[in-house]
Amino acid sequence: MSDFTPISALAGGLLIGTGATLLLWLNGRIAGVSNIASGLLSWKRGDALWRVVFLGGLIIGAYTCNRIIGTAPVARAGFPPALLAAGGLLVGYGTSLGSGCTSGHGVCGLGRLSPRSLVATIVFLIAGIATATIVRQVFGIH
Amino acid sequence: MGKFIAILTSGTIFGFGLALSGMTNAEKVLGFLDVAGNWDPSLLLVLGGAVGVTLISFRFVLRRPTPLLEPVFVLPTKKHIDTPLIAGAVLFGIGWGISGYCPGPAIAQLAAPNWETWVFIPTFLLGALLNRVTTQQPTLQTTS
């Protein structure tokens, strides 16, 4: 059950790149969401507000898009909550240890031609592909 | 004030793109990562489109001495490909492949939250906190 949506995927990707460009050009910051979010865990004066504002923008942008296209993703009925919690822990721990996620390493790091980000992106794509394929094809969990 | 309007604008465009691209839909993300299923290559175009923009635009932006509204660029200073980078990327990839969520889309999904959102975001923050208390290391430093 997966539909190829090339136009919205490409348009969305261009917008993601544009948002990252504006943040770097105007405010000098890397649009790496894992670092922006986890930076709130060590609440430093003067460092929190911009993070909250950016993350709020993510939510406003997604809300606006959902309203325009008239749909929002729905939860998977049979997906095990414990597995999702394990996924969340691994994503949080891994992005903190590896200093970035899909946006920080993938979108911004590759844009900066960072060798670290290129390696990280290749590694998390391979790990993600292997894991998703095993979880769905071997264990039949959707 | 102006700089926060700029940040809000960047975030809003970014978040609109995440939702439009389908990245906030974990099922669609897993349809890309699961290459043995009914493979959906859409995410290649998301990443390709985003990186296509930054590869060009960052050349011009980083040629400037400073950003437009702030005195300095805040960029990663680490240069070496080390064990934490690889181990972190492996663990993140496994978590992404299990859940279908990476941090940006999960937070953007607060626009239309469901039970998955309320499980993923707290556990994501807990995981990041666990790493921070075990290995405290600054990832970003100010450069001029």
Q: Distance (Å) from the C-alpha of residue B133 to the closest C-alpha of chain A?
A: 10
- Structure-token pair, residue B21: 């691209």
Among all residues of chain B, which has the CA nearest to that of A86?
Answer: B95
Residues 110-129 of B with CB under 8 A from A: 110-112, 114-116, 119-129
The answer, yes or no, to whether residue B138 has pLDDT greater than 80, is: no
The one-letter amino acid at B59 = R
A53/B35 CB distance under 8 A: no
Q: Is the pLDDT of residue A10 over 60?
A: yes
Distance (Å) from the C-alpha of residue A27 to the closest C-alpha of chain B? Answer: 6
**pLDDT of residue A29 exceeding 60:** yes
Residue B136 has pLDDT above 90, yes or no: no
Can you give the pLDDT at residue A45?
83
Cα separation, B17 vs A121, whole angstroms: 20
Hey, are the CB atoms on A86 and B98 less than 8 Å from each other? yes
The verdict on a CB contact (< 8 Å) between B31 and A106 is no
- What residues in B contact A63, CB-CB < 8 Å? 15, 111-112
Q: Is the pTM of this model over 0.90?
A: yes
Rounded to 10 degrees, the C-alpha dihedral B78/A90/B89/A34 comes to: -50
Contacts across the A-B interface (CB distance below 8 Å): 511
Of A57, A84, A126, the CB nearest to B12: A57
- With CB atoms and an 8 Å threshold, state whether A99 touches B90: no
Question: Over A2-68, what HEC string results?
Answer: CCCCHHHHHHHHHHHHHHHHHHHHHHCECCCHHHHHHHHHCCCCCCCHHHHHHHHHHHHHHHHHHHH
Q: What is the DSSP letter of B109?
A: G
Please say if the pLDDT value at position A70 is more than 50: yes
Q: Do A27 and B36 touch (CB under 8 A)?
A: no
- What does pLDDT average to over chain A? 96
pLDDT, one tens digit per residue, over B24-75 is 999 999 999 999 999 999 999 999 999 999 999 999 999 999 999 999 999 9
Under a CB-based contact definition with an 8 Å cutoff, are residues B94 and B102 in contact?
no
Residue whose structure tokens are 């504002």: A53
Contacts of B122 in chain A (CB under 8 A): 88
- What value, to the nearest 5°, has the Cα angle with vertex B106 and ends B103 and B112? 160
- Tell me the pLDDT tens digit for each residue of A87-127: 999 999 999 999 999 999 999 999 999 999 999 999 999 99
Helix, strand, coil proportions of chain B in percent (round to 5)?
Answer: 65, 5, 30
pLDDT of residue A42: 86
pLDDT band at A44 (very low <50, low <70, confident <90, very high): confident
What's residue B140's pLDDT? 57
Cα Rg of chain B (Å, integer): 17
> How many Å apart are CA A140 and CA B92, to the nearest integer?
21
Cβ burial of A54 (10 Å; 0-12, 13-18, 19+) is: buried
Measured distance between the N- and C-terminal CA atoms of chain B, rounded to whole angstroms? 23
Closest-CA residue to B70 (of A106, A48, A22):
A22
* Phi, psi (deg, nearest 5) at residue B142: -75, 130
This complex has an ipTM of 0.97
pLDDT at B137 over 70: no
Chain B, 28 to 57: residues with Cβ < 8 Å from chain A are 28, 30-55, 57
Residue B144 has pLDDT above 80, yes or no: no
Pairs from B71-75 (Cβ < 8 Å, separation ≥ 24): B72/A28, B72/B142, B72/B143, B72/B144, B73/A24, B73/A28, B73/B143, B74/A28, B74/A29, B74/A30, B74/B140, B74/B141, B74/B142, B74/B143, B75/A30, B75/A112, B75/B140, B75/B143
